[in-house]
Amino acid sequence: MSFTIHVTADFDQMSAVAADVVLRDVGEKLQSQGAYVLGLATGNSPTGLYKHLAKACNAGAIDASRVRTFNLDEYVGLPGENAQQRALHRESYSYFMTTELFGLMRSKFGETNVPWGTLVDQAELVDALVGRRSDCELQGADKGKAVVIGDGATGVLKTIKDEILDAYDAKIGAAGGIDLHVVGVGGRGHVAFHESGIPFPGNRMLLVRLDDNTVENAVADGHFRTVDESPRYAISMGAELVYEARRVLLLANGGRKTGPVAESVLGDVTCDVPISYGQDYVVRGGDLAYVLDEDAAADVLAQREAVLAKGCAIVDHRGEPYTRVADLAFSRDPESGLVG
């Protein structure tokens, strides 16, 4: 088992260290297995990493055509008359990935996937949830709830279960699973839209009624003008599926993440802090790395001895140069994934 916490000086160094981890893993596995499956997150934390990945692909350091990607989540309820308009909405995660990574690459990934939340019309979903309450169950100890759709569901609920939730899980399985998953962390320790309080078992792919805190943060971060305009539902991988990846790389920056990060390392495994599931993942043999800026790492560093006693390794990169990825002079070897 492996749990490494990388501490960095700031966002730029966090991004460069994370890019080193990803690029080396992609390169090694492309050499050994010929293809790679990369899990991706949205949000501010991975944007610097994505610029490094795009640069590496454009320099020929990675044969992007041999890489497939699967994103964690997507909103339900974005404005638009149809699925295409919703997918192109400036706050959709499909649009985010295009502007922050996919559109920056001259050499494109072989395939990209974002959960198909924009296929769902929120008004139709709400009508079904009101009219077919026996077809689903709400799970969760807090305001964010998993909408668990029963096997006997009909109409739009059956479509969501069969063609969006189960189909996405099955497609990841058919690809051989995810080699490395990049994830972020929410202010309450949630991963993707696996909200605080949603149980772990059985919730591999989720239809989520969002926590008020998540909606309010989306407004506070400038994604939506008002709470009323912010979507209330999302399609998301659950922690159980996220932590099936062969490696998980969690990025966190800023003081809002300090408490949840430390709690996920030193506290109990609890769905109140969904990223605490990483502890079980490591016990089962998973390879987990946190890359934190100084603010997000503050509580971890303050309790360093307790963190080390949990079996975690701490690597402090502060003071190191952090332009390794951006300045790397890559050479191209068609038989390998990454050289330089």
pLDDT digits (tens, 9 = 90+) for 43-75: 999 999 999 999 999 999 999 999 999 999 999
pLDDT band at 163 (very low <50, low <70, confident <90, very high): very high
| Helical pair 11-33 and 47-58, crossing angle rounded to 10 deg | 50
List, as own/partner pairs, every contact residues 159-162 make where C-beta atoms lie below 8 angstroms and the sequence separation is at least 24, other chains included: 160/120, 160/125, 160/207, 160/235
Give the residue with greater pLDDT, 38 vs 226.
Answer: 38
**Per-residue pLDDT for 237 more than 80?**
yes
β-strand pairing of 145-149 with 233-237:
unpaired
Least confident range from 170-174, 183-187, 239-243: namely 183-187
CA–CA gap between residue 242 and residue 240 (Å, rounded): 6
Query: Which of 17-31, 77-91, 206-220 tops mean pLDDT?
Result: 17-31
Q: And the tokens for 220?
A: 């506070």
Beta strands in 25-97 (DSSP E): 36-40, 67-71, 73-76
**Per-residue pLDDT for 157 more than 70?**
yes
CA–CA gap between residue 119 and residue 87 (Å, rounded): 8
Query: Which of 99-103, 122-126, 142-146 tops mean pLDDT?
Result: 99-103
**Per-residue pLDDT for 217 more than 50?**
yes
CA–CA gap between residue 130 and residue 70 (Å, rounded): 31
Over residues 294-312, mean pLDDT: 97
Per-residue pLDDT reduced to its tens digit, 244-257:
999 999 999 999 99
**Per-residue pLDDT for 323 more than 70?**
no
What pLDDT does residue 328 have?
46
**Per-residue pLDDT for 1 more than 70?**
no
Mean pLDDT taken over the chain: 92
Say which residue the tokens 């990803």 belong to.
Answer: 22
Phi, psi of 322 (to 5 degrees): -130, 35
Question: Could you give the percent of the chain with pLDDT greater than 90?
Answer: 83
- Yes or no: domain 2-327 corresponds to CATH 3.40.50.1360: yes
Q: And the tokens for 215?
A: 């909606």
**Domain residue spans of the chain:** 2-327
- Residue 145: CA count within 13 A, CB half-sphere: 11
Per-residue pLDDT reduced to its tens digit, 116-126:
999 999 999 99
User: In whole angstroms, how far apart are CA 89 and each of 59, 71, 164, 227?
Assistant: 30, 17, 19, 17
Lay out the sheet containing 36-40: strands in order across.
111-113, 67-71, 36-40, 180-183, 247-252, 287-293, 2-8, 313-316
**Per-residue pLDDT for 306 more than 60?**
yes
What pLDDT does residue 336 have?
40
Least confident range from 143-152, 211-220, 317-326, 327-336: namely 327-336
What pLDDT does residue 333 have?
41
What pLDDT does residue 339 have?
40
Q: And the tokens for 218?
A: 């989306």
β-strand pairing of 111-113 with 67-71:
parallel
What pLDDT does residue 224 have?
87
Per-residue pLDDT reduced to its tens digit, 271-297:
999 999 999 999 999 999 999 999 999
pLDDT band at 326 (very low <50, low <70, confident <90, very high): very low
